[in-house]
Amino acid sequence: MDVWPWLSAALLLLLLLVQLSRSAKFYAKIGLYCALCFTVSIVAAATCLLRHGGRTVENMSIISWFVRSFKYLYGLRFEIKGRQRLDEDRSCVIISNHQSILDMMGLMEALPDRCVQIAKRELLFLGPVGLIMYLGGVIFINRQRSQTAVSALADVGERMVREKLKVWIYPEGTRNDNGDLLPFKKGAFYLAIQAQVPIVPVVYSSFSSFYDSRTKLFTSGTIKVEVLDAVPTRGLTVADIPRLMDTCYQAMRTSFFSISKTPQENGAPAGPAAQPAQ
């Protein structure tokens, strides 16, 4: 039995469904994004191994080049303000808001040299994606064991000063598309104070004008990125963490509402006077 007519018919039906159904189009784009991540991870891993022979932060420039190409396929544009603050020749902790799986494109678009990310340990086991993260020097933390995580952050602090690294962290700790920022967790601020390096906040505008998983919206759009002034930590101690968290939270939240096209969608008042970091 010839299967090609059936495959052709199924493909045509799928294409028609994608054109007619908003949900089908959304899931097709997400599926393509995941397939791209896995495929590109294999190619980028081979390139990294051929170029540098193993795990090193220098591989991040190769990974970034591959991921930045995704934006052309999805019709996304990035407008970055204050990029020079990321490129300064110093160690620092970079913090940014975390909205969806598309954040990887935004991260790679703004990623400075000698910068690694901190990620949950579970991502290490995502096949080729985990492999390319490992080769790029991503630091994996077991968030289920707080004592282990604190010890790992102490090691990261020593390493980032010794190797003059920048470390990128999502202080919300999880993806958040509710139109506001979640309260921050302490890890990034503990790391910055422990290493006595500045914190550089990076704010991405709301994706909701072109991407919304609840309404199955996924179109082209422009993402505004604002790199805020560095917040110094020299001389601060662990006792200063709550104040430092709140300073960064309020600055990032104000910027988020300023550069986003749409207001909050969760019914909370839009403005800088809402919930502080916890």
**Is the pLDDT score of 220 beyond 90?**
yes
pLDDT of the residue at 154: 79
DSSP three-state, residue 2: coil
- For the chain, how many structural domains are there in total? 1
Residue 88 has phi, psi (to 5 degrees) of -60, 145
- Structure confidence by residue, pLDDT tens digits, 234-256: 999 999 999 999 999 999 999 99
123 domain-assigned: yes
Buried b (16+ CB within 10 A) or exposed e, 75-92: ebebebeeeebbeeeebb
Residue 278, in any domain of the structure: no
Residue 276 has pLDDT above 50, yes or no: no
The predicted-structure confidence for 129-170, as pLDDT tens digits, reads as follows 999 999 999 998 876 666 666 677 778 888 898 899 999 999
**In a domain? residue 214:** yes
Residue 273's pLDDT band (boundaries 50, 70, 90)?
very low
Q: What does residue 166 show for φ and ψ, rounded to 5 degrees?
A: -105, 140
For 69-113, give the secondary structure using H, E and C. Answer: CHHHHHCEEEEEECHHHCCCCCCEEEEECCCCCCHHHHHHHHCCC
d(CA 249, CA 260): 16
- Are the CB atoms for 203 and 11 separated by under 8 Å? no
In a domain, 276, yes or no: no
Percent over 90 (pLDDT), the chain:
66
Residue 116 near residue 165 (C-beta atoms within 8 A): yes
Mean pLDDT of 105-115: 94
- Is 270 part of a structural domain of the chain? no
Q: Would residue 267 be called left, alpha or beta, if left means φ above 0 and alpha means ψ between -120 and 50 degrees?
A: left
Q: What's 56's domain CATH number?
A: 3.40.1130
Is the residue at 119 inside a domain? yes
217: domain range? 19-260
